[in-house]
Amino acid sequence: MKSLEQLTDSVFYIMSALTKPSHGYAIMNLIEETTKGDVVIGPASLYTIIKKLLKEELIILHDASDSRRKVYVLTDKGREVLTEDIKRRKVMIELAEKGLMEES
């Protein structure tokens, strides 16, 4: 994960979860529940990605009152990057859907 210009799936999931203020464990749970257990983010991956997103200023510390469960949220820059990546992913999906529909 040298640069976050093109978001990996894990980063995309975590940023999506952080559109609302959330702490680490809640992020893991939300992703696992939403994908019905298909996607499970490991704790070391989650922590690594949170630190990276903080460094890139895509998220900020929202509430540190509970030092065990720090709450983060997307920054404006983070929202922008996520929106751009949704566009990129939509192009991918549209291409596939169009192709499949033409075939049938």
Q: Which residues bind other proteins (CB under 8 A)?
A: 1, 8-10, 24-25, 28, 40-49, 52, 67-70
CB of 73 to other proteins, least distance (A): 16
Q: Cα(73)–Cα(21) distance, rounded to whole angstroms?
A: 5
CB of 57 to other proteins, least distance (A): 18
CB 18 within 8 A of CB 30: no
Using a 10 angstrom Cβ sphere, with 0-12 exposed, 13-18 middle and 19 or more buried, the burial of residue 73 is middle
CB of 77 to other proteins, least distance (A): 20
Query: Is the Cβ of residue 72 or residue 82 nearer to other proteins in the bound state?
Result: 72
